[in-house]
Amino acid sequence: MTALSTYLSRDWLLSETPSSRTHAAWVRRYRGWLQFRGNGLAMVGLITVIVMIVASLAAPLLAFQDPSAQDLAGRLAPPSAAHWFGTDELGRDIYARILYGGRVTLGMVVAVVLLVAPIGLAVGCIAGYFGGIVDRALMRLTDVFLAFPRLVLALAFVAALKPGITSAVIAIALTAWPPYARLARAETLTVRNTDYIAAVRMTGARSGRIILRHIVPLCVSSVIVRVTLDMSGIILTAAALGFLGMGAQPPLPEWGTMIASSRAYILEQWWVPTIPGIAIFIASLAFNLLGDGMRDVLDPRQR
Amino acid sequence: MLVEIRNLRVQFPTATGLSDAVRDVSLTLGQEKLGIVGESGSGKSLTARSIMRLLPGNARISADRLAFDGIDLLRADEATLRKIRGGRAGLIMQDPKYSLNPVMTAGAQIAEAWRVHRGGSRKAAGQAALDLLTQVQIRDPERVARAYPHELSGGMGQRVMIAMMLAPDPELLIADEPTSALDATVQAEILRLIEDLVSRRGMGLILISHDLPLVSHFCDRVAVMYAGRIVEELAANELTRAKHPYTRGLLDCLPSLTHPQARLKVMQRDPSWLT
Amino acid sequence: MTASRVRQTLASVASVPLTLFGLILVTFLIGRAMPIDPVIAIAGDHAPPDVIARVRTELGLDKPLPVQFAIYMGQLLHGNLGNSVMTSHPVTEDIARFFPATLELATVAIIIAILIGVPLGVVAAWRQGSRFDHVVRVVSLAGQSVPVFVLGLVCLLVFYAKLGIAPGTGQIDVAYEGMVPPITGMLVLDAALEGDWDSFWNAGSHLVLPSLVLAYFSMAYITRMTRAFMIESLAGEYIVTARAKGLSATRILWRHAFGNIAVRLVTVLALAYAGLLEGAVITETVFSWPGIGLYLTGSLLNADMNAVLGATLVIGLVYLVLNLLADLAYRLLDPRVR
């Protein structure tokens, strides 16, 4: 017990003379955390993101109504004690739909990131490590995907696949990986010719092992920063696809789709399309604030 | 007195409070050549830049007196300071690769310095720039005036820098390690040029360096700085009579052709020097 | 200009056809992967089998994929993107008709974004860490976070419905429609050329809201990049030199610090302009602005694949050209050797 408390003390975490490699790593992390904590906006972002994740996970507990229960008699009701955010064009509780919509949005974000980060890392590290013709071919491919505005290419993909959440996730992923590939390639190029990679190569390690065990880990921190900053872009693209009728399909409570189906009521019952709009804005802003703060700590060069 | 410094203190805020970079430094300078010697981080550059109030934005500066030709620099307004900067005191920095503006031609940068302090037409300033380039012994001033800094060699760039700082005819020149980034052969030429210009124009000079023999050869007086303090100040020709152990240590660890040693001495630092 | 710089510049120009080829290949493959059978779209659901077979042969769909691609390329070289099912015009004609409106909107938007974004970024960098800097940071982060369609809808609600100071959707009031003969296709410009000032003011007032919404979208990006570049530039040694020369703060800021980032900023501005194409797709949908974005989303909802692929290809092409211009600007204008 006493041993644990020494490890968790401030002095141990701020030590100028770390006693081991792990200790030094923790000192570095704690200093980064202190710097991050000093950035008020970033903390606001972090707390909002946490609240959002908890709220969507606990949506069934927090929502008092079924998000798809219709009540045509009480449609387009203004916010009240029974319906905190009012009801939509089919009399469904907007508060419940926002909570469940958070699940859809965050789920799409997670799915995209899980698809994109490994693809980008693989392409970038392989291109950077092998160089030559492999590099040129892969980078040309990256350029082609970068040559379209992201939303336009995603729209074309979705149109070819069939509108829906799965297609939207695939389409966003297909358009989002090239920057990761570029990033990973740039990082790989800086370490490719270092002595320690040469040392690993001389021990007879195969390329696959060198890339996986020695190069990929070095790219991870900049990829994490990039992912956090990209999340808001993914949220906006997903919402835009939903708004254009190409993403999640009604009656699924996706924020962009909710705006699209209630757009006609903007002039009379303005809160019906505006509240999901505010939800998108807050989610996207929170990730931007968080990513901005993380970049300051993890990657001061990019400021 | 051209420059008077009494108890100058420069501090920087850090995570654990203010940290002293320059501590209680006092100096005076007339029409003479003063060398300031010390290792990296000893506060020599900050001391010299304080005279032009050119410290980084987060630096805190205080002094009992900090004056240039009788003008109190700590209370002077921005307009007064701007007349001193460049106009009455020039600063030459270490590496022309970074200290010259990369997207302006050498001629334009010199002409700008001229016009700010002397006014006149663009054409007159351009002519003055060519004339200044000739004065710093550049053979082909037209070509150099049209060149961008990256097209010039290090020695050439440093000549441009000198020409720029001499443009308004200052009374004081601060040279902050002016030759550290240059090749050994060019170093001597640049130093000779500075010496020549300083004595011809009757300017005061502060030469900052980590090279003790070079400074003593070149200057009238030498101040040795260690950890933000002046630990010793003496006439250049009396260097061999230095008393402070840090100065002695610096001298002892130099190799000599006339008195070869099997093994050079290593400086033993004493924590008491810090107090 | 040195020989190596010429070579690099040529290389960046030479890579364009290759990227363009990839672009065409991608759109072609998207078109072939679509779930709607183009034969049934043309011949109808209940056509007899021999008609379906004939149409299939006519369209070249019975041939192997590479041959189909060669035919597609051949048609493209003749400027043939096929016919739109929705408008029953050739897609190229449609795009030529819709594109100028997008150009008009995007150009006005980028001008507003530059005029506001660049000075904000410069001053925020100069006063780094000040209250002003924080406000600029929040405003630009908000601009990057707000969905363009929400901003558009809210602006319509507030300025059109509630305050009544802005006109509604569309490029011009219905009463003025068709009064100005198309010359450039940009309504405001055409009206001015015709000397039809009533139409000019009407069309101009319709342009204000969508272009402001679109401008905020890219202003955020421009401000952040300008600020980041300026902070880096202000930390340069040459800024110390400029101060040591006794220059005024304004001159140090604009001539020396800004002068050093100007070329890089041109690159950013070209990319921001290209990025506006993306924002335009959504803005045009919200404001019923008859540009290529509206054409694209309209075709999408009608599963009009020729139109979708044509519009995607054209937008990709414009994007590519702007990227190339950004790259060339960087290489040709910067006196430093890369």
Q: Read off the pLDDT of residues B49-96 as tens digits, 9 standing for 90 and up.
A: 999 998 888 889 999 999 999 899 998 898 899 989 988 999 999 888
Do A209 and A169 contact (CB within 8 A), yes or no? no
Strand partners, B3: B29, B68
Whether residue B53 is contained in a domain is answered as yes
Q: How confident is chain A (303 residues) per 10-residue block, as mean pLDDT?
A: 63 75 81 80 90 88 78 78 79 86 91 91 89 86 82 84 86 89 87 84 84 82 82 91 86 88 83 90 92 77 44
Q: Which of chain A's residues have a Cβ under 8 Å away from the Cβ of C30?
A: 156-157, 159-160
Per the structure, the complete domain to which residue A122 belongs is given by 48-302
3-state SS class at C83: strand
DSSP C296-323: HHHHHHTT-HHHHHHHHHHHHHHHHHHH
Would the pLDDT of C118 be above 90?
yes
Q: How far apart are CA B248 and CA C173, in angstroms?
A: 89
Residue B79 falls inside a structural domain: yes
Categorise residue C79: left if φ over 0, alpha if ψ from -120 to 50, beta otherwise.
left
Q: What is the 3-state secondary structure (H, E, C) of chain A?
A: CHHHHHHCCHHHHCCCCCCCHHHHHHHHHHHHHHHHHCCHHHHHHHHHHHHHHHHHHCHHHHCCCCCCCCCHHHCCCCCCCCCCCCECCCCCEHHHHHHHHHHHHHHHHHHHHHHHHHHHHHHHHHHHHHCHHHHHHHHHHHHHHHCCCHHHHHHHHHHHHCCCHHHHHHHHHHHHHHHHHHHHHHHHHHHHCCHHHHHHHHCCCCHHHHHHHHHHHHHHHHHHHHHHHHHHHHHHHHHHHHHCCCCCCCCCCCHHHHHHHHHHHCCCCCHHHHHHHHHHHHHHHHHHHHHHHHHHHHCHHHC
Provide the whole-model pTM. 0.84
- Mutate which: B46, B58, B71, B103, vs C, most C CBs within 10 A: B103
Lowest pLDDT segment from A145-149, A289-293, B38-42, B134-138: A145-149
Q: What is the mean pLDDT of residues B158-180?
A: 90
Q: What is the pLDDT of residue C230?
A: 93
How many CB pairs (< 8 A) connect B and C?
A: 75
Q: Does A41 sit within 8 Å of C137, measured CB to CB?
A: yes
Per-residue pLDDT at C3: 66
Pair C240, B53: CB distance under 8 Å? no
Six-digit token pair at B221? 């007086």
Please work out, in degrees rounded to the nearest 5, the angle formed at the alpha carbon of residue C55 by the alpha carbons of C50 and C59: 150
Q: What is the DSSP string of C156-188?
A: IIIIIIIS--S--SSSS-GGGTT-SPPSSS-HH
Sign of the dihedral defined by the CA atoms of residues C225, C229, C232, C234, in that order: negative
Chain C, window 302-331: residues with a beta carbon less than 8 angstroms from a chain A beta carbon:
303, 305, 308-309, 311-312, 315-316, 319-320, 323
Mean of the per-residue pLDDT values of chain B: 87
Q: How far is C273 from chain B (nearest CA, A)?
A: 25
Peptide bond connecting B102 to the previous residue in cis, omega within 30 degrees of 0: no
Residue A6 lies in a domain: no
CATH class entry, domain C95-333: mainly alpha
| Residue C221 tokens, joined | 């990006």
List beta partners, residue B35. B207, B222
Is residue C127 scored above 60 in pLDDT?
A: yes
C-alpha–C-alpha distance, residues B54 and C241, integer Å: 10
The conformation of residue C253, written as its DSSP 8-state character, comes to I
Closest chain C CA to residue B147: C335
SS3 track for chain B: CCEEEEEEEEEEEECCEEEEEEEEEEEEECCCEEEEECCCCCCHHHHHHHHCCCCCCCCEEECCEEEECCEECCCCCHHHHHHHECCCEEEECCCHHHHCCCCCCHHHHHHHHHHHHHCCCHHHHHHHHHHHHHHCCCCCHHHHHHCCHHHCCHHHHHHHHHHHHHCCCCCEEEEECCCCCCCHHHHHHHHHHHHHHHHHHCCEEEEEECCHHHHHHHCCEEEEEECCEEEEEEEHHHHHHCCCHHHHHHHHCCCCCCCCCCCCCCCCCCHHHHC
Q: What is the DSSP pairing of strand B33-37 with strand B71-72?
A: unpaired
- Chains touching B (3+ CB pairs < 8 Å): C
pLDDT tens column, B170-203: 999 999 988 888 888 888 888 889 988 988 888 9
CB C147 within 8 A of CB A280: yes
Is the Cβ–Cβ distance between A99 and A92 less than 8 Å? no
The Cβ-side half-sphere exposure at B256, using a 13 Å CA radius, reads 11
- Category of B129 on φ-ψ map: left (φ > 0), alpha (ψ -120 to 50) or beta: alpha
Whether residue B70 is contained in a domain is answered as: yes
Give me the residue label for tokens 């990369």: B102
CB contact under 8 A, B91 and C336: no
Query: pLDDT at position A280, please?
Result: 93
- Residues carrying CATH 1.10.3720.10, chain C: 95-333
What pLDDT score does C106 carry? 92
With 60 as the cut, is the pLDDT of residue C1 above it? Answer: no
Confidence tier at C226 by pLDDT (50, 70, 90): very high
Which tokens hold the place of C169?
């959707």
Asked if residue A280 is part of any domain, the answer here is yes
Q: Is the distance from CB of B173 to CB of B4 less than 8 angstroms?
A: no
pLDDT for position A300: 53
Place of tokens 């002695």: B248
What's the pLDDT score for residue C39? 66
Cα–Cα distance for residue pair A270/A258, rounded to 1 Å? 13
Q: What angle do CA B249, B255, B258 make, to 5 degrees?
A: 120
Which residues are within 8 A (CB) of B87 and not within 5 positions of it... i.e. 6 or more apart?
B116, B117, B168, B170, C246
> What is the count of structural domains for chain A?
1
| Residues A96 and A84: beta-carbon distance below 8 Å | no
State residue C136's pLDDT score.
93
Are residues B103 and C242, on separate chains, in Cβ contact within 8 Å?
no
Name residue B222's beta-bridge partners: B35, B234
Q: Which of C 204-263 lie inside 8 A of A, CB atoms?
A: 228, 231
In the numeric block, which tokens belong to residue B206? 């502060």
Please give the mean pLDDT across all residues of chain C: 83
Within an 8 Å CB–CB cutoff, is residue B29 touching chain C?
no
Rg (CA), chain A: 23
Computed from CA positions of residues C36, C40, C41, C42, in that sequence, does the dihedral angle turn out positive or negative? positive
Total number of domains constituting chain B: 1
Hey, is C90 helix, strand or coil? strand
DSSP conformation class of C78: T
Q: Looking at CA atoms only, how far is residue C245 from chain A in angstroms?
A: 29
User: What is the ipTM for the molecules in this complex?
Assistant: 0.88
Cβ distance of C157 and A270 shorter than 8 Å: yes
Q: How far is A254 from chain C (nearest CA, A)?
A: 14
Q: Is residue A33 part of a domain?
A: no
User: What pLDDT does C203 receive?
Assistant: 82
Whole-number Å distance between alpha carbons of C311 and A137: 27
Domain containing residue B25: CATH number: 3.40.50.300
> Of B230, B229, B252, nearest to B240 (Cα)?
B252
Which class for A109: exposed (0-12), middle (13-18), buried (19 or more C-beta within 10 A)?
buried
Q: How far apart are CA C182 and CA C323, in angstroms?
A: 29
User: Which residues of chain C are within 8 Å of residue A289 when distances are taken between CB atoms?
Assistant: 141
Percent of chain C with pLDDT over 70: 93
pLDDT at A302: 44
d(CA B146, CA B109) in angstroms, rounded, equals 10
- pLDDT digits over C84-94, tens only? 777 778 888 88
Q: How far apart are CA A272 and CA A75, in angstroms?
A: 10
Q: Taking 60 as the threshold, does the pLDDT of residue C337 lie above it?
A: no
Please tell me the predicted confidence (pLDDT) of residue A158. 85
pLDDT at C162: 82
The confidence score (pLDDT) of residue C44 equals: 66
- Per-residue pLDDT tens digits for C270-285: 888 888 888 888 899 8
Rounded average pLDDT over B120-140: 91
Backbone angles phi, psi at B17, to 5 degrees: 105, -170
- The span from the CA of A175 to the CA of B35, in Å, is 62
pLDDT for C338 beyond 50? no
Q: Which residues are CB-contacts of A190 (< 8 A; sequence separation ≥ 6)?
A: none
Question: What is the number of alpha carbons within 13 Å of residue A192 lying toward its C-beta?
Answer: 16
Q: Is B148 on the interface with C (CB under 8 A)?
A: yes
Amino acid, res. C328 = L
| Domain-embedded: residue A37 | no
Indicate whether C111 pLDDT > 90.
Answer: yes
Q: Is the Cβ pair A151, C148 closer than 8 Å?
A: no
Domain span holding position B57 = 1-88+204-275
Contact call for residues A92 and A69 (beta carbons, < 8 A): yes
CATH number, domain with residue A91: 1.10.3720.10
Looking at residue A1, its pLDDT comes to 47
Asked if the structure places residue B103 within a domain, the reply is no
H helices present in chain C, as ranges? 3-33, 38-43, 49-59, 65-77, 91-126, 131-145, 148-155, 187-194, 197-234, 237-244, 249-251, 259-287, 292-301, 305-333
Evaluate if residue C195 carries a pLDDT over 60.
yes
Torsions phi, psi for B217 (to 5 deg): -70, -30
Is 50 exceeded by the pLDDT of residue C180? yes
Quote the CA–CA distance of A234 and A106 in Å, as a whole number.
10
Tokens of C275: 């990025």
Spacing of C-alpha C58 from chain mean position: 36
Cα–Cα dist B159/B148, whole Å: 14
Whether the predicted pLDDT of B38 surpasses 60: yes
**pLDDT at residue C38, as a whole number:** 63
